[in-house]
Structure 1
Amino acid sequence: MKLDYMQCWNGAMALLAAHKEAVIAIAGVFLFLPTLLFAQYVAPPILTGEEDSNALIAIYMAYFNDNALAILASNLVMSFGALAIYFALVPSRSHTVADNLTAALKFLLIYLLANLLSGLIILPGLMLFILPGLYLAAAWC
């Protein structure tokens, strides 16, 4: 059986059209609102463009230390919203938004652990292949 990308696209668009009200509601509350609130209440670091690498590291370390709770909270809410949208778009489910949010809440911890483990698996590959490749490319030029 050959994979037909057009059929996949049409299926995805049909699912989105069938559940667009739920997806818009969930995305508005759990994806766009946290981003808007974060942008409104957390000021970005102020850079002049003349900082060296040590100054940039110090500025961003202070920024992340001062705003760690806001960054963590907004990312958790957005992860929950993305998971709820995934549940809303499952073809075999036709539940309410409340059912999708409940299912997302039940799987949130597993979802976060899977993301953490995949990041831990990707990190050695980054360190072993990408960074030496960048070093070799820079040393070659």
Structure 2
Amino acid sequence: MKLDLSAAWDGAMAMIRTNREVVLVLAGVFFFLPYLAFSLFLPDSGMAEASAANEGDMDAIAAIVMEFYAEFWWALLLLALIQSVGALASLAVLGDNARPTVGDAIRRGVSLLPTQLGAQIVAALAIFAPIVLASGIGAATGSAAITGLLTLLGLPVVIYIVVKFSLSSPAIAIDQTRNPLKALTRSWGLTKGNSLRLFFFFLLLIVAFLVASTVLNLLIGLALALLGEELQLIGLAISGALINAIFSVVAYAVLASVHHHLGGKAIATVPRAGGEE
């Protein structure tokens, strides 16, 4: 079936309104607080300044970035795992018409985390395979121009695969599919005939988010500049965490709504009772 993008967006907003109290709790616990803690307690250790000092020297900048990852890989991994559980829990709350509670959704997120990780690993291998193959063929020719051209030609394939696998998380969290390959297959089937529409839909959302977050951070940074550097950094960390939480909720609501529409499921529109949290 053809996806009605307007209906998908309206459905996402309806999901958020219907489950707003539960979603607020999950967003705070899994997206706002971890991101804020990461921003405040794991500073870039001068990475931004060092990168600016080495502007134009890509090797030096790459070395700085790798040093940061080597030092804080454990924190990045922990943040990714926490937000992965939050993603699954949020999708369960937003998309499961059985109305799981916060506790049920979190338990589902934890239990399905291995499936999610497995699906992401397989998807990553499939996504990067065209680029690696194109780069390898180009390198074999010894021509930088051919390598660049083949890599560029591989990008549409990469984008196509990303879109085709975009509904694997809803398939895991909402349908409770525990086999990573079945989740990816389910996503591939649901997106059939709508890949191009989904690409532009997702692209529009990402661009809107980037513009809004950039403008908001700029305004907040200017407003806090008069209060001193330390308060400015704290304020920017809070605003960044808030933006991360809002975008995460909207993104997962959109995925859940698209999953429902393409799967032929109805969206619950009756708000939860107070005891359902």
**TM-score class, shorter:** 0.7 to 0.9
- Name the structure, 1 or 2, with higher relative contact order (CA <8 Å, separation 6+): 2
1:84–1:104 contact (8 Å) kept in structure 2 = yes
- Confirm whether residue 21 of structure 1 aligns to residue 34 of structure 2: no
- Indicate which of 108, 122, 133 corresponds to 1:117: 122
Query: For the residues of structure 1 that align with 2:15 and 2:8, how far apart are their CA atoms?
Result: 11
Unaligned runs of 5+ in 2: 139-145, 151-277
Q: Distance in 2 between matches of 1:130 and 1:5?
A: 36
**Cα distance change on mapping 1:48 and 1:121 into 2, 3 Å:** closer
- 2:50 is aligned with 1:47: yes
Q: Which amino acid aligns with 2:29?
A: V
Q: What corresponds to 2:111 in structure 1?
A: 106
State how far apart, in whole Å, the 1-side matches of 2:40 and 2:2 are: 48
| Contact kept in structure 1, 2:51 and 2:61, CA below 8 Å | no
With over 3 angstroms needed to count, the CA separation of the structure-2 counterparts of 1:134 and 1:39, relative to structure 1, is farther
Residue 95 of structure 2 aligns to a residue whose secondary structure is coil
2:30 aligns with 30
Runs (4+) of structure 1 moved beyond 6 Å?
Answer: 130-134
Please list the CA deviations of residues 54-88 of structure 1 after superposition, one character each: whole Å capped at 9, or x if unmatched: 21122111111110111111111011111110110
Give the share of equivalent positions with the same residue, in percent: 32
Summarize the Cα distance change of 1:8–1:124 in structure 2 as closer, same or farther, 3 Å threshold: same
1:57 aligns to 2:62 (yes or no) = yes
Q: Residue in 2 aligned with 1:136?
A: 149
Find the residue that maps to 1:113 and give its secondary structure: helix
> CA, structure 1 residues 62+24, in 2 after alignment: closer, same or farther (shift >3 Å)?
same
Asked whether the 8 Å contact 2:89–2:106 carries over to 1, the reply is: yes
Distance 1:48 1:85, change over 3 A: closer
Aligned residues: 137
TM-score (norm 1): 0.85
Give the whole-Å Cα distance in 2 for the aligned partners of 1:78 and 1:23.
14
* 2:149 aligned partner, one-letter code: L
Task: Look up the match of 1:79.
Answer: 84
State the 1:49 CA deviation. 2.2
**Would the alpha carbon gap of residues 135 and 35 (structure 1) be closer, same or farther in structure 2, given more than 3 Å must change?**
same
Q: How far did residue 130 of structure 1 move?
A: 8.2
Report if the CA contact (8 A) 1:15-1:91 is conserved. no
Q: Secondary structure at the match of 1:75?
A: helix
**Structure 1 counterpart of 2:148, which letter?**
Y
Displacement of 1:48 after TM fit? 4.9
Q: 1:11 to 1:48 in 2, by over 3 A?
A: closer
Provide structure 1 residue ranges, at least 5 long, that are not aligned to the other structure: none
TM-score (ref. length: structure 2): 0.45
Change (3 A) 1:103 1:47: same
